Amino acid sequence: MKIGYPCINQSLLCRSSRTFRLASYSDERLILTLEENLRCLLEILRYNRNHGIFFFRISSDLVPFASHPICSVDWQDAFKERFSALGSFIRDNQMRISMHPDQFILLNAKDPDIIDRSVSELAYHAEVLDLLGLDLNAKVQLHVGGVYGDKKASIERFIDQYATLDESIIRRLVIENDDRRYTVKDCLFIHERTAIPIIFDSLHHQVNSEGEIVSEVFPDIAATWESHDGIPMVDYSSQEPESRAGKHAVAIDLPDFLAFTEDILPFDVDIMLEIKNKEKSALIAIAALENDDRLVRIR
């Protein structure tokens, strides 16, 4: 069981997600920014290793405008060695990596242009993981998409689009239940038709489900991960008190976290903490699990 956090390390001064405005695009600026982002990514990964954190989500902004038509830099080739060196560091330390394209990426859109842009963006994400030389347990997690007033038809569009994707994307892609539209049950239905693995999000399930008990539904979710996909990834957050339902907590609620791990035991999973204070909560969770004798129940 690895514990991780997404994209940003607040203890370090650098960010691996620096970007800039489209209006100020130049090839030179893209190269300088990517150089800086890769340097910082290594710094974050070193911090993680030194602190016993072995799960990390790489920011989608690592390569700004990578899938935008304005980008004509062959960054894949220019930074090949850098990606390869980063990948060696990740593999040598047996780290788990994920990426999470943001809300604009919609495989089930009705507008073919939106689908085209989405597929390009997914190809970019898969390419980053390929350039790092990571095996198939490094995943790109995506929400199912919009409902467009007809969920059934929108699920069918997702399934149809998924079938047209290149194998280089399919082997990396997993779907996640979201907080307003597609539930775990919807994801399981899509899995039956596509074999796509499901990444379970605890807070989204809390605010958007058909009442399934986590400990009862989790075995079905875990079974969507084949052995080459690695053990299941899950996203965990608790609800921030006195805020909108679904708002991610600022700091980890340790009793809630331990209750969640109880729900998913005895499955071994890697847990991404989607908590605003990032690595601080990861360190607390890791320390709490260190001497937890429940973990011997993991199979």
Partner DNA sequence: AATGGTCAAGTCAGC
Partner DNA sequence: GCTGACTTGACCATT
In the set 2, 82, 96, 117, which binds DNA (CB under 7 A)?
117
Tokens of 174: 């997993």
Binding flag, residue 31, DNA (CB under 7 A): no
In the set 68, 80, 152, 297, which binds DNA (CB under 7 A)?
68
266 within 8 A of 299, measured Cβ to Cβ = yes
- Residue 234 CA to residue 222 CA, distance in Å, equals 10
Q: How far apart are the first and last CA of the chain?
A: 11
Tokens of 124: 């970019």
In the set 12, 18, 156, 256, which binds DNA (CB under 7 A)?
18
Q: Strands 55-58, 3-6: parallel, antiparallel or unpaired by DSSP?
A: parallel
Q: Strands 3-6, 198-201: parallel, antiparallel or unpaired by DSSP?
A: unpaired
In the set 58, 106, 190, 217, which binds DNA (CB under 7 A)?
106
Question: For residue 51, which of 251, 285, 270, 271 has the smallest C-alpha distance?
Answer: 285
Q: What is the signed CA dihedral for 122, 140, 8, 38, rounded to 10 degrees? A: -60
Question: Among residue numbers 190 through 219, which ones bind DNA (CB under 7 A)?
Answer: 204
CB of 291 to DNA, least distance (A): 29
Binding flag, residue 282, DNA (CB under 7 A): no
Binding flag, residue 246, DNA (CB under 7 A): yes
Binding flag, residue 241, DNA (CB under 7 A): no
Binding-site string for DNA from residue 155 to residue 194, where x marks contact by CB under 7 A and - marks none: ------------------------xxx-------------
With respect to DNA, which residue has the nearer C-beta, 102 or 226? Answer: 102
With respect to DNA, which residue has the nearer C-beta, 58 or 66? Answer: 66
DSSP 180: S
CB of 151 to DNA, least distance (A): 8
With respect to DNA, which residue has the nearer C-beta, 149 or 211? Answer: 149
In the set 51, 91, 193, 248, which binds DNA (CB under 7 A)?
248
Binding flag, residue 23, DNA (CB under 7 A): yes
- Residue 19 CA to residue 22 CA, distance in Å, equals 9
- Residue 165 CA to residue 17 CA, distance in Å, equals 27
- Residue 12 CA to residue 22 CA, distance in Å, equals 27
In the set 84, 104, 164, 259, which binds DNA (CB under 7 A)?
104
What does residue 217 show for φ and ψ, rounded to 5 degrees?
A: -90, -20
In the set 186, 229, 270, 274, which binds DNA (CB under 7 A)?
274
Binding flag, residue 4, DNA (CB under 7 A): no
- Residue 123 CA to residue 120 CA, distance in Å, equals 5
Q: Which stretch binds DNA (CB under 7 A): 85-93, 113-121, 133-141, 165-173?
A: 113-121
230 within 8 A of 251, measured Cβ to Cβ = no
Binding positions for DNA, rule: CB under 7 A: 6-8, 15, 17-24, 60, 64-68, 100, 102-106, 109-111, 114, 117, 121, 145-149, 179-181, 204, 244, 246-248, 274-276
